[in-house]
Amino acid sequence: MKKLICLVFLLAGLVGCMQPWDIRTSSQSESEVNLPITSVVVQKSARKLYLMNGKNVVRSYRIGLGFSPEGHKTTKGDGKTPEGTYRVDRKNPQSKFHLSLGISYPNAADRARAEALGVDPGGDIFIHGEDTKPHFWKRNWTQGCISLKNEQIEEVYALVRIGTPVLIQP
């Protein structure tokens, strides 16, 4: 009986020492982690970012958004995270937000919408890490970007290539 109790405590201690990324759902087997990322899907209402290989989720992350997250970005400074289909168009290893992946906002539809409204659509939308201020306790703090914890953006930055489609959903 003492051996069983010791074994239970030993296993509990090992599980407690594991990093969250060591625990994979059945859809995140070791072989799937090595699959190429074919798209990034962001669900704003769920505050989730998914790295996809085809229709399979390879990784998922909790995210922060712009300070006014509901609705589609239409104007520079509105604090909204855009909605639509974009691409990763650049990588910035020297970002003030640890690392960043540029999103191709505004696309042609965004520019046409802004022109019809007579406004500047803004730009410089990124998936990025944290800056030096402790923002992450506040989920929606960016100017319209998608934020991750620094260790998460390191993983995303390594896995996602320039040209990867990004679908941002409401």
pLDDT tens digits, one per residue of 99-109: 999 999 999 99
Q: Which domains does the chain have, with CATH numbers?
A: 40-169 (2.40.440.10)
In the chain, how long is the greatest CA-to-CA distance?
Answer: 76
CA dist., res. 128 & res. 152, Å (int): 9
Paired with 39 in beta bridges are 52
Element (H, E) at 66: strand 65-66
Torsion-angle region of 61 (φ positive above 0: left; ψ -120 to 50: alpha; else: beta) = beta
Global pTM reads 0.76
Q: Please report which helix (H) or strand (E) contains residue 112, including its range.
A: helix 108-117
Quick: pLDDT tens for 2-45: 444 443 344 344 333 333 333 233 344 444 557 899 999 999 99
